[in-house]
Structure 1
Amino acid sequence: MRFQSNAQYIVTAELALAVNAAVTLQKPLLIKGEPGTGKTELAKALAAALDTDLLQWHIKSTTKAQQGLYEYDAVSRLRDSQLGDARVHDIANYIKPGKLWQAFTATKRPVLLIDEIDKADIEFPNDLLHELDQMAFDVYETGETVRAVQRPVVIITSNNEKELPDAFLRRCFFHYIRFPDAEALERIVDVHLPGLSKILLTEALQSFFGLRELPALKKKPSTSELIDWLRLLLAEQVTPEQLKQSRETGGLMPLFGALLKNEQDVALVEKLLFMAKRAR
């Protein structure tokens, strides 16, 4: 199977090459890029292309690597022992498999998404080195070893909030998703909003890229936010002429709250637009 664009997901030639290379090498694919550039959607699209299951492990700041392997519920076992439950004699009843365990024992090769790995503490990636390398781990409570029936396709995403250890990076195939240009964005929009007026899209993209190019913007609007904005423009029946007018008169674009997500950026844009208007 060669991964490529489909009716639900637009992929660049470079990203398709990276996915296919990682699958061929049987290495985790580490994907970085701005939030909202489709990193998580990539794993979903790949699972659909392979016609297999997607196992999603969403990482938080409190997530520990052990949780991806399994968790031992000692509290439930203690409670059951106090109640005289017969289940207490088999410790396996209190072992809850994590996402890696599920991926290792799946009958069909799944896609495992480790989403936003950079949210966890710095030791988290190092704690997964052996398991991802050897595709096996020990369950100390039962004495068993869980080995992968077949290597899952592993997609790891990062928003670059913190650096990842070199030892971890060596074991991955890396790709950075660059922000799409206008042509690529048109194709992406067509997937989500087929039949959208070309005139409206042209005006919207001009305002969108103008916003992204502003200096000192704290958070640049993303692809997903552009899609949301376009949906709102359609729902509110905003015309291309209104978008053009707001840009030419030095005002904020309609429904700007879909693109600007903090008061500093709103104030910055208002100031720059006011200065540009006075300079005319």
Structure 2
Amino acid sequence: MTWQPFYVGDGRPRDVDLGAPPPWRSFPRAPLHRQFQPPEGLVNAVNAALALRRPLLVTGAAGSGKSTVIEQVAAELKLGHVLRWHITSRSTLTDALYRYDALGRIHAQRLERSDGSDDIAPFLRLGPLGTALLPTPQPRALLIDEIDKSDLDLPSDLLDVLERGEFEIPELARYEEDIVQVREWGGDDRHPVSRGRVECSAFPFIVMTSNGERDFPAAFLRRCVRYRMPMPTAASLRRVVEAHLEIDAEHSGPVDTLIAGFVERLAANESLAVDQLLNAVHVLTGTAAPGEADEREVMELILRELSRA
């Protein structure tokens, strides 16, 4: 089969079979905890964070598997589904703790003025961090992804919550009812909150990821167990590839050549992600692999340096 089995560019409608997608692009997304290959030292870093009840700050290049660490830990230790807080420059601590729809409540009060009802619960929802701090027998797993993308003050804002393991919802602290059932993040389960206080009983397992694009305050760093993802080697990348894809004898040599070239480019400080390598191997070894005339161009497209548009 040639490299153009789908789109030809002649504008003629045709029925096509796109075949199976890469395993990591099947939807709904399947967890990758079985495929993840922890690099040297990461297991000890995770165990130290678990023993000390401290967040684990994982630094490394994009696509190096930082955010997959917590999936494997949560699966192995039966910590439930992973709560996720993806950081942007607009992220705030309050939004991570809880969300309150004040306008929605005012609108409901106007509509229900005749019967005098005023239930605040439908307008409150815990955020990912707030849900992780609910009292539970087992710790919850929380991913704080790309914390280096945050506003400069956010890491410092986190310190008190991470130290005390509790927070207050002011709207509930002054509410007439002592106990309010509040929805958790990512689901419809409700949990009782007494006088607006949420206090954890088992400190959550928190993984914070960083691409290394900024420095953090010393006060923040000393409250974390820190781990830097090592530079991949040809052997470690081969294990990653084999964990995701079956490589037959016919393609073993070309895959090793592709991996060796990838490692050389990393050593030359080119910005590349491991998932780019997986994409390239999937195309190279697929039934619709490009022929000799197209292979170089296709590989250059897939393995284009991340610092280039």
Query: 1:128-167 maps to which residues of 2 (within 5 A)?
Result: 128-143=158-173, 144-167=196-219
Distance 1:16 1:72, change over 3 A: same
TM-score, normalised to structure 1, is 0.81
Q: Return 5+ residue gaps in structure 2 as ranges.
A: 1-32, 174-195
Alignment partners' CA distance in 2, 1:262 and 1:153: 31
Distance 1:232 1:25, change over 3 A: same
Match of 1:173 among 212, 225, 235: 225
2:140 is aligned with 1:110: yes
Paired residue type of 1:226: L
Match of 1:203 among 257, 264, 278: 257
2:122 is aligned with 1:93: yes
Alignment partners' CA distance in 2, 1:155 and 1:145: 24
Please state whether the residue corresponding to 1:171 is helix, strand or coil. coil
Point out the structure with the larger helix share: 1
Distance 1:74 1:56, change over 3 A: same
Which residue of the partner structure matches residue 19 of structure 1?
46
User: What do the CA deviations read for 1:84-142 (whole angstroms, capped 9, x no partner)?
Assistant: 16696233432211112211226332211111111110111111111111100111111
Aligned-pair RMSD on alpha carbons?
A: 2.4
2:274 is aligned with 1:223: yes
2:92 is aligned with 1:38: no
Alignment partners' CA distance in 2, 1:136 and 1:214: 46
Moved more, 252-261 or 116-125: 252-261
Displacement of 1:238: 5.0
Query: Quick check: 2:143–2:207 contact (8 Å CA) kept in 1?
Result: yes
Please state whether the residue corresponding to 1:30 is helix, strand or coil. strand
Instruction: Report % sequence identity.
Output: 31
User: What do the CA deviations read for 1:34-67 (whole angstroms, capped 9, x no partner)?
Assistant: 0010001111111111122211111112111111
Query: Quick check: 1:31–1:158 contact (8 Å CA) kept in 2?
Result: yes
Distance 1:120 1:87, change over 3 A: farther
Q: Return 5+ residue gaps in structure 1 as ranges.
A: 1-5, 247-251, 266-280
Alignment partners' CA distance in 2, 1:171 and 1:52: 22
Matched length: 248
Which residue of the partner structure matches residue 125 of structure 1?
155
Query: Quick check: 2:232–2:263 contact (8 Å CA) kept in 1?
Result: no
